[in-house]
Amino acid sequence: MEKSTMITLTFSLILIFLPSLTIGLSTYNVVSLGAKPDGKTDSTEVFVKAWNEACGSLGKSRIVVPEGRYLIQNAIKFDGRKCRSVAITFDVKGTLVAPSDFHALSSSATWLWFDSVNGVTLSGGKFDGKGVSLWNCKMSGKGGCPKGASTLAFTNSKNIVVRGLTSINSQLFHIVFNGCNNVKLQSVKVLASGNSPNTDGIHVQASNGVTIFKSKISTGDDCISVGAGTTDLWIEDILCGPGHGISIGSLAKDMNELGVENVTVKDVTFVGTQNGVRIKSWARPSNGFVKKVVFQHCTMINVQNPIIIDQNYCPSNKGCPGKESGVKISDITYEDIHGSSATEVAVKFDCSSKHPCENIKLDNVKLTYKNQPSISSCTYADGSTNGLIEPKGCL
């Protein structure tokens, strides 16, 4: 063959195969790769292998986890830094089971950790954190228990979708987003006992553009907690309880802290929770802030603190010199918040004497206590009311 013909031929072959490589969908089935869905055989290595293959393939890739129970005995880091794949979907029909001995994860902060990934979708599946024995250890008060591992975390990641997933009995937080951009979470269920310690449902921190939609959360801590540096967060159509409610904070953990800005919480029903909508900061110096928050169309059913801003958080009175929070809270709107309070004080604004809360707006709030009017309490809080307000405002 002539050299020029050969070059042309090679070139044509590349042109024929290149599109199928770049637009192809590669599928990796964990059972085909050797995982045994018997709930007893450790599948950690197979999941790592499936990730490495999916991450290394060009185009889009899919990891299939068929029905059955997969023991994941060790923490896994799904590292996205060297991925060539443009999108990876986890299609999970089965249940991932954490080790029953909590010591197995004692040196890990997270059981299933996605770091620096772009374009990952987690669809379906059940994640069983097996946290009960660790909670019991913590609640026994004997000490010597590890902190525990969060079940699922995404850090420094973008373009993430989590849908149709169930997370039960996490040792610590169930689902965490830290340092993420553009996250859509929907139709998620979180389930843990109402007295399980630190089992927050969803925790968002230092992230922009997170949407949490249509989910049911029952835990022993916050249904959703929002940490410093969260912006453009949207929370809608949530059923929360038991648990500690939806909380912005605790803030002012550090002197230098990013602010929380532009948060919308709407169509949430709280059932028997400790708090409804809460903003909470340590009574400590900080340059953090919370601004432009809207709580809208929320129903409270027997909630201890339906509406609360607490800037005097200082457990055991330790580490709060001067006892004034540096966090500036402003432009907070409560619109159409109704239902029943389990305590007499249904609305409580306990703000910082150094930086009083500014521009709090109450618009159509009706909260009763034992079918009677409830009361409100304001300290260093400034704002206005509109429409029917019960308890009578103290702004």
Ligand X SMILES: *[C@@H]1O[C@H](CO)[C@@H](O)[C@H](O)[C@H]1NC(C)=O
Least distance to ligand X from the beta carbon of 204, Å? 12
Hey, what are 301's tokens? 């059913």
Residue closer to ligand X (CB basis): 93 or 361: 361
Q: Which of 71, 62, 73, 63 is nearest to 36 (CA)?
A: 71
* Only segment of 6-14, 140-148, 230-238, 379-387 that touches ligand X (CB under 6 A): 230-238
- One-letter amino acid at 349 equals F
Q: What distance in Å separates the CA atoms of residue 246 and residue 301, rounded to the nearest whole number?
A: 14
| Residue list 146-175, contact with ligand X (CB under 6 A) | none
Q: What distance in Å separates the CA atoms of residue 318 and residue 301, rounded to the nearest whole number?
A: 34
* Only segment of 47-55, 191-199, 232-240, 343-351 that touches ligand X (CB under 6 A): 232-240
Residue closer to ligand X (CB basis): 265 or 308: 265
Q: What distance in Å separates the CA atoms of residue 338 and residue 17, rounded to the nearest whole number?
A: 61
From 234, 236, 271, 301, residue interacting with ligand X (rule: CB under 6 A): 234
Residue closer to ligand X (CB basis): 233 or 362: 233
**Burial zone of 3 (CB within 10 Å; 0-12 exposed, 13-18 middle, 19+ buried):** exposed
Residue closer to ligand X (CB basis): 152 or 263: 263
Least distance to ligand X from the beta carbon of 235, Å? 9
* Only segment of 3-11, 214-222, 227-235, 381-389 that touches ligand X (CB under 6 A): 227-235
Contacts of 283 (CB under 8 A, 6+ apart): 252, 311, 312, 313, 314, 320, 322, 323, 324, 325, 352
Decide: is 333 part of the binding site for ligand X (CB under 6 A).
no
Tell me whether residue 244 is one of the annotated catalytic residues.
yes
Residue closer to ligand X (CB basis): 208 or 325: 208
DSSP string, 97-133: E--SSGGGGTT-SEEEEEES-BSEEEEEEEEE---HH
Q: What distance in Å separates the CA atoms of residue 73 and residue 377, rounded to the nearest whole number?
A: 50
Least distance to ligand X from the beta carbon of 297, Å? 16
Residue closer to ligand X (CB basis): 234 or 313: 234
Residue closer to ligand X (CB basis): 266 or 338: 266
Phi-psi region of 302 (alpha: psi -120 to 50; beta: other; left: phi over 0): left
**How far are the Cα atoms of 179, 212, 242, 277 from residue 266, in angstroms, in the given order?**
24, 11, 18, 10
Least distance to ligand X from the beta carbon of 154, Å? 18
Least distance to ligand X from the beta carbon of 290, Å? 14
What does the DSSP 8-state code read for residue 141?
A: T
Hey, what are 32's tokens? 């085909």
The count of chain residues that interact with ligand X, using the rule CB under 6 A, is 5
Q: Are 170 and 221 in contact (CB under 8 A)?
A: no
124: β partners: 92
From 232, 254, 267, 331, residue interacting with ligand X (rule: CB under 6 A): 232
Decide: is 262 part of the binding site for ligand X (CB under 6 A).
yes
Decide: is 330 part of the binding site for ligand X (CB under 6 A).
no
Q: Are 238 and 262 in contact (CB under 8 A)?
A: no
* Only segment of 13-21, 111-119, 143-151, 229-237 that touches ligand X (CB under 6 A): 229-237
Q: Which of 174, 203, 244, 355 is catalytic?
A: 244
Catalytic site positions: 244
User: Which residues here bind ligand X, judged by CB under 6 A?
Assistant: 232-234, 262, 264
